[in-house]
Amino acid sequence: MNDATAYHHRDQRALIPAETEAGAEQINPKVQNHPTKVLEKDPIIHRGQDPHLNWLGKYDHDEPDQRPDYLNVDIRSLYRHEHVRPEALMQRLYQQRQTGTPAQLDLFGPSYQDIDELDKPLSYYQHHADWENRLILGDSLAVMTSLLEREGLNGQVQMVYLDPPYGIKYGSNWQIKLNNRTVQDGKDEHLSSEPEQIKAFRDTWELGIHSYLSYLRNRLLVAKELLTESGSCFVQISDENVHLVRNLMDEVFGSENFVSLITLKKTTGAGSPMGGTDVLPSINDYLVWYCRKIQHVKYNQLYSARAGEGWVNYNYVRLVDGTHRRMTTAESHDWKKLPVGSSVYRRDNLTSSSSSGDASKPFEFEGTLYSPGNGGWKTSHSGLRKLAQVGRLESYGRTLSYRRFTSDFPYFRLTNLWDDVLTGGYAEDRHYVVQTTTKVIQRCMLMCTDPGDLVLDPTCGSGTTAYVAEQWGRRWITIDTSRIALNIAKTRLMTAAFPYYKLYDDGGQDLRQGFIYKEVPHITLKSLANDEPPSTEKLYDQPEEDKKRLRVAGPFTVETLQSLNPVAPEELEAATTPPEELESQQQFEQRVFAGLTAAGIRNGAKGEQAVFLRVEARASPALPAEGFWRDGEGRERKAYFLLGPRFGTVSKSQVNEAVRECRQLGDADWLVILGFAFDDSIENREQTFSAGTFQVTRVRIGEDLLQEGLLKKDKKAASFVTIGEPEIAVVPAEAPEGATGPHVCVEVRGLDIWDPINNRLAARSVEDLAYWMLDDDYDGSNFIVRQVFFCGGEKTEFKKWRQKLDTQASATAKRQAEATLRVELDEDAWARLYGFRSHPIRRQLGRRLAVRVISQFGEESTRVLTL
């Protein structure tokens, strides 16, 4: 085994810009700046076909001139945040004894490389790049609409899987740290502090179940547009709201496109009573399955192997001497007590309600004449004689029956009762506070997709859908508003190892040709009676494995939704803000100003604190406030403030505009950029930098300002803390074996991380750092994850990774003793996977190194160094 292998898809995807190129695609005249997608909210009303559901807010609209029965969704852009290729990461762990350096894998296909940098803006969304799977941070409705309209993915998705929150309690659905799944309602320390999650909660649950139905309806409308004609949509839900969800899906897809209501067993215990009352416990969830067009739906029949208790009425046995008898009571309860060589069978019905020819006439068997009754035999007299010759006929009383043996087909068709799965992650390792088991999603995927098909999950969570899609060779796109969820999914995919399933087109690696599946004979009465070879059934969950090959996840990108749509001044003046939203924004600003005068801004690095004497609002969008404070010598100084969005990211263009206006005014010593999150292009700079006559400082706002009404106790003043940058050092390193020239290592020495739970600034510790990544040849645009290191908690992540790799490589190790994976792996590289020092890098003048550190709270901080 010389390297790690991944499946690669021959499909392509639209070329989209990197984060550092935000807005560049709008130079393209074919990309509209502020388009909207219009969707009919209630498509069945005009068909007059099905009853429809009504709820509070169903026909609300945002604009005065907007029709209440139509939904307008802004079409925004997606940007590439990171490129991840697990193959390349694995190559770092192999010793390259001849060259001394890991093999460089080409990440981009010719479609990326052949486009001139000057032509790229005009090429966005018009050209295509090699397919990479997609992990996207952002609101799922806006992301799906972007995929639909910006990238033309309408009719391209084969399966949509939605697992929305079941309940409406704020604390019950969100995980607050990567390494902590404990979530309890009503506790301040267990509330999410992510702005995206808080906004999602407020938008989704403002009207309780009514808001929930609007949330789900809007996403189903876009999902339907994305589906192929043969595509399927699954919604996982509990019994509390399943009736509403099914009615809603009737409205969106049409009742004629309902496929099935699948029951999922979620516990082996007594379950939990509904509504907190001591009544009948609930032990199941549901999957509501609709398709785009029922006459075209793609369906692969799945089978499950029968266990002893799965054979109904199989209570007869043929012994090795050819005699037949009924099982004893003890034998029927435990087939292991049967004599060796026994064959189990049941007496099956041999007649049908209609017939033709001699099948309607009596048949003589062993000297007795048997009548088929009012109907007829299931086969002709000739067929009956052949069944008798092979010992398949048996009489009892005046009835002639057919012997159906367990060996004829030891499987049964999968139905809509799945009592052998446990939802909620009870039967496997859990990564996220709410997580569906892989078996549930695997069955859905195998039933209605084939290798190479595209799967979409707008509710990423821990990335189970993406994980299952990787295992089974499907393309995938998954979306979430939580940075914590996406980081859990990303690490899960980066460290995954899968069996290598053999392809029909193994030489060309064409996944569209499918896997080589196990096929089993299906002996039937018809095949025996007609003396035909038995048909075969394909077992889609049992493809053939190549034990000599190790497989990791294919290449994928991490992407972000455009935080803000740039608005021209004339559009801003003409825009009308709803009074309630304007009032909410003003209240938010007042809370920020009160916090600045009460608690001030803390310098996380030096422990300093600047408390403002007064803060006043300004009419300028670029600099909406100004404030005054006293320096160490008692002199009064002036500062301007840029206040970022409540539920979004401060963009580079906003900072540039604020710096420009502050420079024009020329009467301030300080420009303070206030925000909950900042674009990477801003974070690449020092936390405080000079802009001529004044200093510019990025300050993070405490998230408790967003949680008004959610916290049990109100805090008197919010915290404002300067952004702590990771302390990165470049240190000399020994060259790898066989390499020449000077080498260096990147070392993460410190990171100030704001702890939103305890409201304090904490220095780096192994508990607070989740992992960090390195692009050791950064091009200024594409952050390519070339090295990754796990830090937080115990040394478990890469140990699990290595165990998986060793397991997958075990067959090879037995056959190739001197060339096993254990020998080929660089032991020092494995040791460094837990720690703060990178693998050696060749020192080259001008080479840029991008370091990205991720905390347990999902916060990211990036530094770029030049050698």
Residue pLDDT, tens place only, 81-95: 889 988 877 776 654
Q: State how far the Cα of 199 lies from the Cα of 554, in Å rounded to an integer.
A: 33
Percent of the chain with pLDDT over 90: 30
114, part of any domain: yes
Length reported for the chain: 867
Regarding whether 460 and 596 lie in a shared domain, the answer is no
Q: How confident is the prediction for the chain on average, in pLDDT?
A: 77
Regarding whether 79 and 45 lie in a shared domain, the answer is yes
- Quickly state the pLDDT bin for 310 (edges 50, 70, 90): low
Regarding whether 419 and 409 lie in a shared domain, the answer is no
CA atoms within 13 A on the CB side of 822: 11
Residue 863: which residues within 8 A CB-CB, separation 6 or more?
A: 684, 725, 726, 728, 850, 851
**Mean pLDDT across the stretch 629-635?**
81
Structural domain count, the chain: 4
Q: Which of 410, 408, 401, 439 is nearest to 310 (CA)?
A: 410
331, part of any domain: yes
**Mean pLDDT across the stretch 421-434?**
51
Q: State how far the Cα of 679 lies from the Cα of 59, in Å rounded to an integer.
A: 35
**Mean pLDDT across the stretch 365-373?**
92
Question: Which ranges constitute the DSSP H helices of 390-479?
Answer: 438-448, 464-471
Tell me the CATH number at 241. 3.40.50.150
Task: Give the tokens for residue 70.
Answer: 């139509």
Regarding whether 93 and 164 lie in a shared domain, the answer is yes
Task: Give the tokens for residue 586.
Answer: 């003003």
Regarding whether 320 and 177 lie in a shared domain, the answer is no
Most confident of 22-31, 45-54, 639-648: 639-648
- Confidence check: pLDDT of 72 > 60: yes
pLDDT digits (tens, 9 = 90+) for 376-415: 999 999 999 999 999 999 998 889 999 999 999 999 899 9
Regarding whether 625 and 503 lie in a shared domain, the answer is no
pLDDT at residue 580 in the model? 46
pLDDT at residue 711 in the model? 40
Q: Residue 223: which domain range? A: 12-303+415-520
Q: Look at residues 722, 752, 780 and tell me which one is the last residue of a structural domain.
A: 722
- Quickly state the pLDDT bin for 647 (edges 50, 70, 90): low
pLDDT at residue 74 in the model? 79
Task: Give the tokens for residue 562.
Answer: 């455009």
- Confidence check: pLDDT of 324 > 60: yes
Residue 461: which residues within 8 A CB-CB, separation 6 or more?
A: 163, 432, 434, 435, 436, 480, 485, 489
55, part of any domain: yes
pLDDT digits (tens, 9 = 90+) for 463-495: 899 999 999 999 999 998 878 788 888 988 988
Most confident of 9-23, 142-156, 161-175, 266-280: 142-156
Most confident of 246-260, 430-444, 690-704, 780-794: 246-260
Strands 551-552 and 497-498: antiparallel
pLDDT at residue 206 in the model? 61
pLDDT at residue 731 in the model? 92
Q: State how far the Cα of 81 lies from the Cα of 135, in Å rounded to an integer.
A: 10
Per the listing, tokens 């189990």 go with 344
Q: Which of 796, 803, 798, 786 is nearest to 840 (CA)?
A: 786
Regarding whether 845 and 759 lie in a shared domain, the answer is yes
Angle formed by the axes of helices 438-448 and 464-471, to 10°? Answer: 50
Q: What are phi and psi of 119, to 5 degrees?
A: -95, -10
pLDDT at residue 263 in the model? 94
Min mean pLDDT across 209-213, 311-315, 346-350, 383-387 is at 209-213
Regarding whether 488 and 393 lie in a shared domain, the answer is no
3, part of any domain: no
- Quickly state the pLDDT bin for 66 (edges 50, 70, 90): low
825, part of any domain: yes
Regarding whether 681 and 614 lie in a shared domain, the answer is yes
**Mean pLDDT across the stretch 136-140?**
88
pLDDT at residue 186 in the model? 45
- Confidence check: pLDDT of 119 > 90: no
Q: How far is CA 567 from CA 384, 451, 560, 573, 661, in A?
A: 81, 43, 19, 10, 17
- Confidence check: pLDDT of 368 > 60: yes
Task: Give the tokens for residue 713.
Answer: 């106790």
Regarding whether 350 and 217 lie in a shared domain, the answer is no
Q: Look at residues 699, 722, 745 and tell me which one is the last residue of a structural domain.
A: 722
Q: How far is CA 653 from CA 76, 563, 678, 783, in A?
A: 16, 11, 11, 20
Task: Give the tokens for residue 51.
Answer: 């009853």
**Mean pLDDT across the stretch 352-374?**
89
247, part of any domain: yes
- Confidence check: pLDDT of 793 > 60: no
Q: Look at residues 351, 382, 413 and tell me which one is the last residue of a structural domain.
A: 413
pLDDT digits (tens, 9 = 90+) for 802-821: 665 555 554 444 333 333 33
CB 26 within 8 A of CB 125: no
**Residue 177: how many other CB atoms lie within 10 Å:** 17
**Residue 606: how many other CB atoms lie within 10 Å:** 8
844, part of any domain: yes
Regarding whether 622 and 750 lie in a shared domain, the answer is no
533, part of any domain: no
Regarding whether 652 and 608 lie in a shared domain, the answer is yes
Reduced to 3 states (helix: H, G, I; strand: E, B; else coil), residue 430 is coil
Q: State how far the Cα of 247 lies from the Cα of 253, in Å rounded to an integer.
A: 10
Reduced to 3 states (helix: H, G, I; strand: E, B; else coil), residue 665 is helix
Most confident of 554-563, 699-708, 820-829: 554-563
pTM of the model as a whole: 0.81
